[in-house]
Chain A
Amino acid sequence: MRVACPWKCCVSLEETFFLIWIILILVIAAAGLGLLLAQSQRRLRIMAYELELRQREKKTVFEFLDRIGSNLTAGADGNATMELIVSFAQDATKADAAALFLVEQTSPTLRARIVKGLFPPLHKLSSDKIFAKRKYLADLIMKETIRLGEGVVGKVAASGAGLLIVDVARDSHTADADFGGVDVRDMLLAPLSVRAESLGVLVLVNKQGGGRFNAVDQSLVSAIANQAAVTLDLVRLWRLRAEQQRMEHELELARSFQAMLLPRKTPRFEALELAGFYQPAQEVGGDYYDFIEIDDRSLGIVIADVSGKGIPGALVMAAVRATLHAEARLSRSPKVVLQRVNDQAARDTSDSVFITMTYAVLDLQTGIFRFCRAGHEPVLCCTDGDSEVKSYAPEGIALGVMEGSVFGVTQEQEIQLARGETVLLYTDGVTEAVDRDSFEYGEARVRAGLIAQGHLGPQALLDSIVAGVEKFSAGMPQHDDMTMVALRWRGHPDGALSTAEGAAIEAGDSLGTK
């Protein structure tokens, strides 16, 4: 069948249909191609937008890091860092108001640390006053605490997931909030967390110029919050380190201060051999020993242990030492001296601080050793060749506890030293040194050491006891100061007082090294 075509050519009907088919297919293909083009263009636009977003985010974060970095090199100040975080987030999102809430160190609550702009109270305030002035409102918000999980801030801190609230009136999180009379339209909340620990929440309120926060703002704030968390964590660690350094410094100070209290030189006498030993523990205790040359004939010997540690303990000891040195020159009676030291210490120290002390006055002519034991460890004596140690623990009460008459129970004891007799004074840091199984060194070992080594002279005796304790405790940490004083009476060949031997030796030789 043939039909006449409009162009007067002769085309069959089949050919016409074929042509129409071809045209149709071409049209569909063109449309598809167009659609594809449009789609890829849209995708390109989105990609460009996202790229711009990432670049903006990157730029913001880099700027932020740069600012934070220069802030940190100026010193790890937590407050300045927080200020910077909040103002940076506020600028980046163009928010009317912003605040940084941080989790408190002592309890699972949040408190606003920085508040900028007219920031609304985000939970029910404990005071219902209306605060017209934003300064008062900010002060109030910074005083209030929010429990984890309470209100929007508490929820973001607890869940670790940020919130974009485009319309506070319609959002389930904020629909019931009254914001203390502050006009709030939209909000942006981002958690600050490191290693799954929630440090706080960054909150932005009301986009400037009546606009609303969007996904771009949210992604920006979340990036800032992430960096801020890392930075605050760093500041926290920094401060911890600084605090540790400060404590180490205080310890060092206490050690050198305490070392100042000890005699710089051990005096030397014809009739007598003397030695002292002091080794501080890791956490400095308050041990003290001293030799006081009262006059040509009388030597004061003291060993003491204050119950406090560190700087406070060393200060108490310094005060006691000063009183003791003054009083020792006014009386030859140990009891009278200690009574006065006690009264002074009871007035000066707090109720729970006490000092144990043994104070003796040795007559360098006669070898008479008079002493009082103010709550201190017993006085041990052993003469060369003896197989037993005499232990003296007359009645006595520690110093600094009670003023006046209570001290009356303290008794004075007198020992006539024999030629070759060694007297040993020690603090409980020696007897209470522990081994790996927490057993104590004990008084029995000290006595055994005195019997075995006493005849070798005070310095050798102390050295051997220290070596014994060190061997016993075998590297276990030393919990308390170890202090000892030993003296050995040589007497006078003809009972007469000889001239004192030359120069004194350095007490430093006998000080233990850590």
Chain B
Amino acid sequence: MKNYNLVIHDVAEGDGFRRAEIVGSLDSHTVVAFEQSVQDLVHGGAGTVVLDICNLTYISSAGISALMGLKYKLQQRDEELVLFKPTEKVLRVFKMLGFTSIFRIVDNESAFASPPNR
């Protein structure tokens, strides 16, 4: 079921990384809000930006484009985007597009530096 809402909030910030959670649906309706919300993630100088997507229920091609844009913006600053715990449905989209080799997708917290205190 699609949910045309998107909530982004900072979950934790640690040494060399920043973690934010996306809840809801990332599609052409929410992509502008998403891009505005992640502005400060790009300018935060975090080193690694971890996007917790375990509660991301749907992602469209516009949503993937936005993630790709974020990834390249971070890359230009020598920073990395990590996608954390996608649902099976969202992971299927990444697999279908062949993007599991382009995005760093991890399933456990030890995969990125300095595990946060939740």
Which A residues form the contact surface with B (CB < 8 A)?
Answer: 283, 305, 307-309, 351-354, 356, 374-378, 393, 395-398, 401-402, 406, 409-410, 428, 432, 434, 437-440, 479-480
Contacts and interface: CB of A to CB of B under 8 A. Distances in A.
A351 B2 CA distance: 27
A354 B65 contact: yes
Nearest to B3: A438
Contacts of B101: 397, 406, 409
A439 B1 contact: yes
Contacts of A395: 98
**Most B Cβ at <10 Å: residue of A305, A307, A377, A428:** A307
B30 interface: no
Contacts of B2: 434, 438-440
Contacts of A307: 61-62, 64-65
Contacts of A352: 65-66, 68-69, 72
B69 A393 contact: no
Contacts of A410: 98
Interface string B92-114: 00001111011000000000000
B28 interface: yes
A393 B101 CA distance: 16
A308 B65 contact: yes
A351 B97 contact: no
Contact of A375 (B28, B60, B66, B97): B97
Nearest to A350: B69
B98 A398 contact: yes
A479 B58 CA distance: 14
A402 B68 CA distance: 12
Given A307-B61, A351-B68, A351-B72, A401 B96 contact: no
Nearest to A355: B61
A354 B64 contact: yes
A378 B65 CA distance: 20
Contacts of B61: 305, 307, 354, 356, 428
Given A402-B102, A479-B28, 20 more contacts: A283-B28, A307-B64, A307-B65, A309-B28, A351-B69, A352-B69, A354-B64, A354-B68, A356-B61, A375-B99, A397-B97, A397-B102, A398-B97, A398-B98, A398-B99, A401-B102, A406-B102, A409-B101, A439-B1, A439-B2
A221 to B, nearest CB: 41
A377 B98 contact: no
A170 B99 CA distance: 72
Secondary structure type dominating chain B contacts = helix
Contacts of A396: 98
A269 B60 CA distance: 37
Interface in B1-30: 1-4, 27-28
Nearest to B93: A428
Contact of A409 (B3, B64, B66, B98): B98
Given A352-B65, A352-B72, A354-B64, A393 B1 contact: no
Interface in B37-70: 60-62, 64-66, 68-69
Contacts, number: 68
What is the interface residue range for chain B against chain A? 20 to 34
B30 to A, nearest CB: 12
Contacts of B96: 375-378, 393
Given A307-B64, A479-B28, A356 B102 contact: no
Nearest to A410: B98
A362 to B, nearest CB: 23
B102 A353 contact: no
22 contacts: A283-B28, A307-B61, A307-B64, A307-B65, A308-B65, A351-B72, A354-B68, A354-B97, A378-B96, A396-B98, A397-B98, A397-B99, A401-B68, A406-B101, A409-B101, A410-B98, A428-B60, A437-B1, A438-B3, A439-B1, A479-B27, A480-B60
Give the top 9 A-B pairs by smallest Cβ distance, nearest first: A397-B98, A352-B69, A375-B97, A307-B61, A351-B72, A438-B2, A352-B68, A307-B65, A352-B65
Contacts of B4: 438
Contacts of B72: 351-352
Contacts of A479: 27-28
A354 to B, nearest CB: 7
A280 to B, nearest CB: 14
Nearest to B100: A397
A440 B4 CA distance: 13
Contacts of A354: 61, 64-65, 68, 97
B111 to A, nearest CB: 22
A309 B98 contact: no
A375 to B, nearest CB: 4
A352 B76 CA distance: 14
Contacts of B62: 307, 309
Given A307-B62, A308-B65, A401-B102, A356 B97 contact: yes
Contacts of A428: 60-61
Nearest to A283: B28
Nearest to A402: B102
Contacts of A377: 96
A449 to B, nearest CB: 20
A353 B97 contact: no
A442 B45 CA distance: 41
Contacts of A437: 1
A398 B62 CA distance: 14
A216 B118 CA distance: 69
A393 B98 CA distance: 11
A439 B1 CA distance: 5
A356 B65 CA distance: 12
Contacts of B98: 374-375, 395-398, 409-410
Interface string B77-88: 000000000000
